[in-house]
Structure 1
Amino acid sequence: AARAMDVTRDTFEAAIDALEAAVADPHFAFWSFDCEFTGLNAGAHTVFDLLDTPEERFRKVHACVRAFAVLQYGVCTFHFDPRSRRWTARPFNFWLFPDHRALPDASAFGCQASSLSFLANNGFDFNKCIREGVPYVPASERARAEARRDRNRDRPPIVPSNDRDRGVVAALIAVVTAWLKLTDESDDAHGELVLEPTNAFLRALTYQTLEKDVFGSDDPP
């Protein structure tokens, strides 16, 4: 077997190319995979029983997979050369970590003490996992986020209908513009602007205003 390719976020694209090439190899026969999770047992209802039906076992495994995060994904392709009658293996080791920047609401996951202890006792590098792991989000969470984004995009814009609402927008633009100017002109710490709390309608109007190009910049605050 070849030495495993250690895959982090910096080497992910090259690793995918190498993996695709391995699968496209004419001598490719089959592949296997293994995962390291932050936990394995989501509760008494997920404990395996010898009398489980295939459907019951699937539901238990599915519940556990949804409760925990995958920290490492190992995949190995196997190749058989009919001339030499020899097998070769090409292993890939993907370090993974949930992407808290893309979908903050979807980045929470459960942990099981016994599983983390097992990983630590077997030399698992948690620092490497967190700092260099390939970021990912569950497909179901991504689909829900895209659906919410599409719904928000299709909504008609909020139009200030009275003097109070128009005054809120004007004051917001003035405050943010002054803050941006102060931040650009000063080396002091002006990196944070705290807006006054308001109701849901004015909060939506605030978000809409901040997303518009009204501050002389292509990158809204």
Structure 2
Amino acid sequence: MVPSAVTRWPPRGSPATETGSSASEAGSAQKVGASKMATCAGDPFMMDLRELAATSDSGGSVPTAIDGKAAPAVDVTRHNFEVMLPIVRRYLEACDFFAFDCEMTGLFLEGQNHNYLDDMEERYARIARAAQSFVINQFGLSCFQRQEEPGPDGETQYLAATFNFYLFPRSARGPAYVASRRFMCDAESLSFLASQGFDFNRCIYDGVPFIPVKQRDEMLRQLDRDTNTVLGAGEGPRNHVELTKPEDQMFVQELVESVRDWLASGTTDPLDLPAVNGYLRLLTYQALARPEHFGGPPENGAPDWHPGFVVKKVNDERNCTRVRLVRCALVTEASALDAADREERRRAVMAAAGFAAVWEAIRECGRPGVGHNCLFDVAYSIAQFGEGQLPRTWDGFKHVTAHWFRGGLFDTKHICRQLPDLLGSETSLATMFSSLVPQDFGPTGSGERRGDERV
């Protein structure tokens, strides 16, 4: 049964609703048939208009009530992403289902178009190769909540919140290093986006960065390993390396002497040790964790003794890993510096991951997902926001899809095939849209129409 009334949120005119005019609007609330705008004052699904509008980076007046017209989606860029993220999470948690749609830089690799004689393994293999080559540059998301009160004519009403995320795979330096991404573009796909008013400058300059959730989690685990290595080197057989080679012994001796000289100088400037390979860096951590190298603690014990520095792992301008020593005199000061450093690096990783947080929220909400002819959308999204690499087989792909869409995945193109009396044999998105959505329902329409008599 097609829902018979939909309200798009936020209302038209809100500063947060910078018009997203690209084709990703196809993934918005307008995919669903509507006859009247829902009245939603006081509904817990809706946040205060001013609160939502304040998250936008554009100006304009803020309405205080539904004005009876459908609203454009909220555009999300890297400038308002941090503020919008908890709002998007809130809507995902409160919705009954969500719809999504992606825009990509291409669909088919050269010579890899679909063949009608393909079996699913062959077709999936082509899509998987494309998903690793092209990128998503916009992600449209609509969260729908069924309203308890029916409309004036007894029709079912849904409230919808729609967001357009501009995306761009950004490189990152420092503690959350992300290499520059190389991706392919298809001329026809870019021409189509341009014809729909897609803003390429905004995508490149303002797009939200993204890496897969799995890559982000591995970076966070590496952060934990780095912290444990710095704090625990030399404390057990797992980390301990016996210095049997003369060159290793000389390296440690020179290292300890340089640190002692730095401590004796009384300077407050940090000491950046030379960039070395991973093995010598382990020897460095091990030597720095040996109290006897730096004059303590005394034999009778001193629980508040500290060597006078804390150890940090940093990346220089060439992204070479270095060990930095920062002066501090107290154990409490050292703990505070360690915690601040760890939090700084964690925040850098989360910032580099960007849209991965939204994709994770989609999984965690456990709500049904809805798309139209969405195999490409799903494959690209799982590859670029979730897994990093797609499974080699169709069965494996179905398994990871179930992992990311815990509430199930519904493709309206396939649903249309089950409703031939409603839509006939044509199942394109344009036909669905014209059949189910009133002609006057849009950013400039009144949204007034009786329920579709054919349902």
Give the TM bin, normalised by the shorter chain. 0.5 to 0.7
Aligned to 1:51: 117
DSSP 3-state at the match of 1:97? coil
Query: Is 1:90 aligned to residue 151 of structure 2?
Result: no
1:29-44 equivalent positions in 2, closer than 5 A: 29-44=96-111
Q: CA deviation at 1:75?
A: 0.7
Aligned equivalents of 2:198, 2:216: Cα separation in 1: 32
- Separation (CA, whole Å) in 2 of partners of 1:177 and 1:136: 43
* Greater per-residue helix proportion: 1
- 1:98 aligns to what SS in structure 2? coil
Q: CA separation in 1, counterparts of 2:278 and 2:169?
A: 29
Identify the structure with the greater strand proportion: 1
Deviates more, 1:139-148 or 1:56-65: 139-148
Determine the structure 1 residue equivalent to 2:310: 217
Corresponding residue for 1:133? 207
The separation in 2 between residues aligned to 1:97 and 1:64, in whole angstroms, is: 17
Corresponding residue to 1:124 among 199, 203, 221: 199
Say whether the 8 Å CA contact 1:103–1:137 is kept in structure 2.
no
Cα displacement string for residues 58-100 of structure 1 (whole angstroms, at most 9, x for unaligned residues)? 3322221122332321111234445113444321112333353
Higher relative contact order (CA 8 A, sep 6+): 2
**Aligned residue identity for 1:124:** D
Can you give the 5+ residue segments of structure 2 that lack an aligned partner in the other structure? 1-7, 10-71, 230-236, 289-307, 313-322, 325-455
Partner SS for 1:206? helix
Are 1:205 and 2:279 an aligned pair?
Answer: yes
Distance 1:70 1:164, change over 3 A: same
- Identify the match of residue 19 of structure 1 among 70, 88, 97: 88
**Residues 158, 97 of structure 1: CA spacing in aligned structure 2 closer, same or farther, 3 A cutoff?**
farther
Instruction: Tell which structure's C-alpha radius of gyration is larger.
Output: 2
* 8 Å CA contact retained: 1:23, 1:77: yes
**Long gaps (5+) in structure 1:** 186-190, 196-201
Q: How many pairs align?
A: 206
Deviation at 1:22, TM superposition (A): 2.8
SS at match of 2:129: helix
Instruction: State the match for 1:199 in structure 2.
Output: none
Percent identical? 28
User: What is the letter of the counterpart of residue 126 of structure 2?
Assistant: K
Within-5 A mapping of 1:162-181: 162-172=245-255
1:178-193 correspondence runs (5 A): none
* TM-score between both structures, scaled by the size of structure 2: 0.36
RMSD: 4.4
